[in-house]
Structure 1
Amino acid sequence: MSKVYEFNGAIIKKPDSNAAYIAIPLNVKKEFGKDRVAVHATFDNVPYQGQLVRMGAEGHIISIRKDIREQIGKQPGDMVHVTLQERESAKPDYNTIDEYIARYDSDVRMRMEKLRELIHECSPDITEKILWGMATFVLNGNLVHFSGEKRHLGFHPTPSVIASFAERLTSSGYKYSKGTVQFPYDKPLPYDLLKEMVQFRVREQIK
Structure 2
Amino acid sequence: MNTFEEYLDKMDNPAHRAQMEEILAWVGEQFPELTPKIAWNQPMFTHHDTFIIGFSAAAKHMAVAPEKAGMDHFLEELKAAGHDHTALLIRFKWNRPMDYDLLRKLIQFNIEDKADCTTFWRK
Provide the rounded CA distance (Å) in 2 between the counterparts of 1:204 and 1:177.
Answer: 21
Give the secondary structure class of the aligned counterpart of 1:121: helix
Provide the rounded CA distance (Å) in 1 between the counterparts of 2:93 and 2:25.
Answer: 20
Q: Aligned residue for 1:177?
A: 86
8 Å CA contact 2:38, 2:44 repeated in 1: yes
| Residue identity matched to 2:111 | V
Provide the rounded CA distance (Å) in 2 between the counterparts of 1:155 and 1:191.
Answer: 12
Aligned-CA RMSD value? 1.8
Deviation per CA, 1:40-90, whole angstroms, max 9, x where unpaired?
Answer: xxxxxxxxxxxxxxxxxxxxxxxxxxxxxxxxxxxxxxxxxxxxxxxxxxx
Seq. identity, %: 26
Q: Aligned residue for 1:138?
A: 46
Q: Aligned residue for 2:32?
A: 124
Provide the rounded CA distance (Å) in 2 between the counterparts of 1:201 and 1:153.
Answer: 19
Q: Aligned residue for 2:97?
A: 188
After TM superposition, the score normalised by the length of structure 1 is 0.50
Q: What is the deviation of 1:122?
A: 4.2
Structure 1 residue ranges (4+ consecutive) displaced by more than 3 angstroms after TM superposition: none
| Residue identity matched to 1:109 | R
Q: Aligned residue for 2:120?
A: none
Of 113, 119, 125, 2:21 maps to 113
Q: Structure 2: where are the runs of 5+ without partners? A: 117-123
Number of paired residues?
113
8 Å CA contact 2:33, 2:47 repeated in 1: yes
8 Å CA contact 2:42, 2:56 repeated in 1: yes
Determine which structure has more spread, i.e. the larger CA radius of gyration: 1
Whose strand fraction is larger, Structure 1's or Structure 2's? 1
Of 156, 160, 181, 2:65 maps to 156
Q: Aligned residue for 1:167?
A: 76
Of 1, 7, 10, 1:103 maps to 10
Whose helix fraction is larger, Structure 1's or Structure 2's? 2
Matched, 1:198 2:107: yes
Q: Structure 1: where are the runs of 5+ without partners? A: 1-95
Provide the rounded CA distance (Å) in 2 between the counterparts of 1:154 and 1:134.
Answer: 10
| Greater relative contact order, per chain length (Cα 8 Å cut-off, separation 6+) | 2
CA distance 1:206–1:118, shift in 2 (3 Å): farther
Provide the rounded CA distance (Å) in 1 between the counterparts of 2:9 and 2:85.
Answer: 26
